[in-house]
Structure 1
Amino acid sequence: MLVLRAHHLLCIQGYEGNGYSSEFTKNMDRVVTTLSDNTYVKIVMTVDDICEKCPHKLENDTCKSQEKVFEFDLKILNELKLIVNRTYLYKDILNSIRENLSYEKFQKICGSCQWFRYGYCKNGIFKSF
């Protein structure tokens, strides 16, 4: 089972091997390659398996941008109709993304993210729509 922050559900959709550091990228590669339709994913609003190697992770297991990512998480939970601390099959999460997320909603939620301008997430999320 993987543990993922709600907003990371969107980040991983367009992941292309770029990240904050080589250590972060290796960890992200591991998380992304672990995911399959039948992978169980626990949704959290705290540090997760991706945050483990992030340079923004603080010693007290919070994020340097905690307020910002907390807001991202809340918005994603609401839009995807997911419940924090619940475990889902990854294929059900993907279905929820397809059914509930429009580009306009995505833009409102993620527009202030530093990675938004690169279009990775957008391309990954909306490539099959």
Structure 2
Amino acid sequence: MFKLRGHHLFCLIGFRGMGYSEEFAENMKRIHTELRKNPKTLIEIIDGVDQICEKYPDCKDYHCLDKNIFERDKKVLEKLGLSVGQVITWEEVESRIRKYVTPEDIDVLCYTCSWRSYGLCKGGIQRILNGAGLWKVK
């Protein structure tokens, strides 16, 4: 089981192998690969620092506890009809994305995200909507 905060559900969908550091990217790749290979993997929705945040590099401005990040978590969870404390499968996350999310939602829900301009999350959402699942990351 992975413990993840709200907005990281979208980050995982857009993940293509890049990150804030090599250690951060490798950790994200490990989680991403497990979810892609085993969509029945359980996820506990948590509030605050999760298994992705814990590898955020010390040399960067630590933003995981910023108010706007918590706000982004809240908006993503509301959009997906999820709440902190729920335990669901990754398969259910993808199902909820197909029901409730469009690629354009990224511009609204994640407007303060520095990664948004790359278009990876929009592409990942479209991929889920097309039934293709997570990208394979090398």
Equivalent residue number for residue 99 of structure 1 = 99
Q: TM-score, normalised by structure 2?
A: 0.83
Query: Are 1:63 and 2:72 matched, yes or no?
Result: no
Cα RMSD for the two superposed structures: 1.7
Q: Contact conserved, 1:57 with 1:63, CA < 8 A, in 2? A: no
Q: Contact conserved, 2:6 with 2:45, CA < 8 A, in 1? A: yes
Equivalent residue number for residue 39 of structure 2 = 37
Q: Contact conserved, 1:51 with 1:57, CA < 8 A, in 2? A: no
Q: TM-score, normalised by structure 1?
A: 0.89
Q: Structure 2 counterpart of 1:45, which letter?
A: D
Q: Structure 2 counterpart of 1:46, which letter?
A: G
Q: 1:15-94 counterparts in 2 under 5 A?
A: 15-35=15-35, 36-55=38-57, 63-64=64-65, 66-94=66-94
Q: Distance in 2 between matches of 1:33 and 1:87?
A: 19
| CA shift digits 1:44-97 (9 cap, x unpaired) | 121111111112686xxx825x21110110001111000111100111111001
Residues 39-48 or 100-109, more deviating: 100-109
Structure 1 unmatched ranges of 5 or more: none
Equivalent residue number for residue 8 of structure 2 = 8
Q: Contact conserved, 2:13 with 2:124, CA < 8 A, in 1? A: yes
Q: Distance in 1 between matches of 2:12 and 2:19?
A: 11
Q: Structure 2 counterpart of 1:11, which letter?
A: C
Q: Structure 2 counterpart of 1:111, which letter?
A: Y
Q: Contact conserved, 1:5 with 1:73, CA < 8 A, in 2? A: yes
Secondary structure of the residue aligned to 2:64 is coil
Percent identity of equivalent pairs: 39
Q: How many residues are paired up?
A: 125
Equivalent residue number for residue 109 of structure 2 = 109
| CA shift digits 1:19-57 (9 cap, x unpaired) | 000111111111111212110000112111111111268
Structure 2 unmatched ranges of 5 or more: 130-138
Q: Distance in 2 between matches of 1:37 and 1:57?
A: 33
